[in-house]
Amino acid sequence: MPRSATVETLREFHGRGMNTLSDVYKLPADLPEFDRLNSQHRIWTRVMNGLCPLPVREIDELLKPREDGKQAAILDLGCGSGIWSMQMASLYPQARVVGFDLIEPKPSSRLPNCSFIQGDVTKGLQRFKGQFNIVHLRTLIIHVAKEARRRAILDAIDCLKPGGLIIFAEYDEPKVDEYKQLLLPASDEQDAPPHSWFMRYMTEAFQHKAKTDLRYVIQKILSESDKLRKETIQTSLYHVPVGWDGGNGENGRAVGEMMRANLRDLIRTFRPSLLDRGVPYEVTDRWITKADKELDGSEDLRILVVLYATWARKL
């Protein structure tokens, strides 16, 4: 699996390797972050029972060898560590897979049908127009500035061949408790449920002062596109426990522990950008300590993270 990035694209900042190519993406692009993304990938594949939210037979049909000899193709936008790209390339050796990200992964081993290209989704995707049977975006749009999201989504749709499939996989920004009630950001005056220090930290990290519903934004943009078959637009939700079993026994406990570990790493990956914005060290570390306690799944507050996948087919 991919394990490193091009050194020239990283700068050392508060102990982490940050990318130098864009001010949009605020997370590191170093080896610890690639490890976190690989862990996040394992959570996604577990809750979706595979690499994609659709039945395997539909993906097989899209990517099967063609009588005309034309090669099926997959584009992984915001490919991160490259793990999804590499696994799709392994499962579908007859297909061409292209991973695209600000930081180009450097895999420890190569597959002949998988390549990686360095670039910025927000700068346009004209080079890929009309070339792919599947376009995949996971935890990408959440990092794109609100004013640039519509253009990024429409550009991604334009990368599809006729009949092609676009897949978005994202975190819901609002988090909920075990009763699926909305969690609110905590403060020094209000720090008991439904107020959450984890939500406070993530609100500060994303600089969102109010609840946002990216899931509905994506659905709306897709429904307004004249290039998609409206009846194919679908969304699946996955409620994932954090540090507890979610009522699903051993399997739920395993996923809950995976999510807890991943979110503990995630809040630390945001630390350099918070410090860069002027949040004092002691404040940042106090928030992390409080968020850690919540992520342990205490009796006072049990958190559910909502993952969702939205997909559609091109005309």
High-pLDDT (> 90) share of the chain, %: 72
Domain harbouring 128, CATH code:
3.40.50.150
User: Which residue did the predictor score with more confidence, 141 or 31?
Assistant: 141
Close Cβ partners of 299 (under 8 Å, ≥ 6 residues apart)? none
167-222 pLDDT per residue, tens: 999 998 889 999 999 999 999 999 999 999 999 999 998 876 555 689 999 999 99
Residues 152 and 165 sit within 8 Å (Cβ to Cβ): no
Strand 73-77 with 96-101, pairing? parallel
In tens, the pLDDT along 242-261 reads 999 998 888 899 999 999 99
Is the pLDDT reported for residue 18 higher than 60? no
**What is the pLDDT, as a whole number, of residue 9?**
57
Could you tell me if residue 187 is inside a domain?
A: yes
Neighbour tally for 157: CB within 10 Å: 18
- Say which residues have a Cβ less than 8 Å from residue 235's Cβ, sequence separation at least 6: 215, 219, 308, 309, 310, 311
Note whether residue 3 is domain-resident: no
Q: Which two tokens stand for residue 197?
A: 């220090």
Q: Are 34 and 103 in contact (CB under 8 A)?
A: no
Query: Tokens representing 31?
Result: 């080896």
Assess if residue 71 is contained within a domain: yes
What is the arithmetic mean of pLDDT over 75-88?
96
Which pLDDT does position 7 carry in this prediction? 43
pLDDT in tens, 58-70: 999 999 988 888 8
144 domain-assigned: yes
Mean pLDDT, the chain, rounded, equals 89
The letter for the amino acid at 82 is G
Q: Count of domains in the chain?
A: 1
Confidence check: pLDDT of 22 > 80: no
The answer to the question of residue 6 being in a domain is: no
Domain-embedded: residue 287 = yes
Please give the model's pTM, rounded to 2 decimal places.
Answer: 0.92
pLDDT band at 106 (very low <50, low <70, confident <90, very high): confident
Residue 181: count of CB within 10 angstroms of its CB = 11
Residue 4 lies inside a defined structural domain of this protein? no
- According to DSSP H, which parts of 5-78 are helical? 31-48, 56-63
pLDDT for 3 equals 44
What is the distance of C-alpha 268 from the center of its chain? 17
User: Would 261 be classed as within a structural domain?
Assistant: yes
The Cα 9–Cα 184 span in angstroms is: 37
Provide the pairing of β-strand 114-118 with 195-196.
unpaired
How far is it, in rounded angstroms, from Cα 42 to Cα 189?
38
Domain containing 301: what range? 11-314
